[in-house]
Amino acid sequence: MLPARHRLTDRADFAATIRGRGARRHGSRLLVVHARVADATQTDARGESSPRVGLVVSKAVGNAVIRTRVKRRLRAQAAPLLTQLPAGTDLVIRANPAAADASSADLGAAMRHCLRGLLVGERG
């Protein structure tokens, strides 16, 4: 479970992370990870700059049981990665339909691959 300060819940924050200024994305067969890193001066509405994660799992992934399973697995894989993210980072993780048949390990590997591509691309 992600602590409340690490959850992205506001529609405007999702939109800014996916389509806003400075938004980046990296994808794989299972996932697409959208990221936006805030400046040092920007913080969220609560005055914190901790990294936040939001999930998008559409009906294309499967029925409610499958979508819930995918979300649970993604949250479990995202939680330990929060300490490696820069302060003020917002992530939106979008599951592709292939994620329905993927194991937790596969989802975690895809997430790490996408984050590595985003963070390396940011430095380079």
Per-residue pLDDT at 94: 97
Backbone dihedral region for residue 52 (phi beyond 0: left; psi -120 to 50: alpha; all else: beta) = beta
Q: Please, which pLDDT band fits residue 29 given cuts at 50, 70 and 90?
A: very high
Q: What pTM, to 2 d.p., does this model score?
A: 0.87
CA-based nearest residue to 102, from 26, 2, 32, 29: 29
Identity of the residue numbered 109:
A
Which of 24-28, 38-42, 47-51, 79-83 shows the lowest mean pLDDT across its residues? Answer: 38-42
**Residue 45 in this model has a pLDDT that exceeds 60:** no
**Residue 112 in this model has a pLDDT that exceeds 50:** yes
Instruction: Identify the CATH class of 4-123.
Output: alpha beta
- For the chain, the average pLDDT equals 89
Helices in the chain by DSSP H: which ranges? 11-19, 64-78, 104-123
Per-residue pLDDT at 116: 92
